[in-house]
Amino acid sequence: MRICIPVEENNGAQSRTYGHFGSAPWFIVYDTDTGKMEEVSNANEHHEHGRCNPLASLQNYNLDAMITGGIGRRALEKIHAAGMRVFRAGHGDTVEHVVRLFVDRELSEVTLEDACSHQH
């Protein structure tokens, strides 16, 4: 399974999760089957409220899920429309830690009711 984790900095498995999906400076794409990790710069990091489109930076990665500290409703709807699920991570957790929680099925799924209603 290929998962995407928005992060504050590009430090591989020690990168810390970012508090909001759309404005994360980086994404880590992790393949749970192979253990392969890729770093992706978020070309849409700076955007107006409601104009978030970070999926454009991720469109060629064949993702199955996202793990994030927070996400807006519109972004969540776009991700769901693309066939992906979204799970909640604690802000500042390492990629290594959230991947382990994900594999062990210990992360809760983000619903539309859980989505952020404003920009952070």
Q: Which superfamily does CATH assign the domain made up of 2-103 to?
A: Dinitrogenase iron-molybdenum cofactor biosynthesis domain (3.30.420.130)
**Quick check: 38 pLDDT over 90?**
yes
Return the domain boundaries, the chain: 2-103
Beta strand residue intervals within the chain, DSSP E: 2-7, 26-31, 37-41, 65-68, 85-88
Distance CA 117, CA 78 (A): 15
User: What pLDDT is stored for residue 72 in this prediction?
Assistant: 83
* pLDDT tens sequence across 42-93: 876 444 544 455 576 788 899 999 999 888 888 888 889 989 999 999 878 9
Mean pLDDT of 21-36: 92
- Please name the residues in contact with 30: beta carbons below 8 A apart, sequence gap of 6 or more: 2, 3, 4, 5, 36, 37, 95, 99
Confidence of residue 4 (pLDDT cuts 50, 70, 90): very high
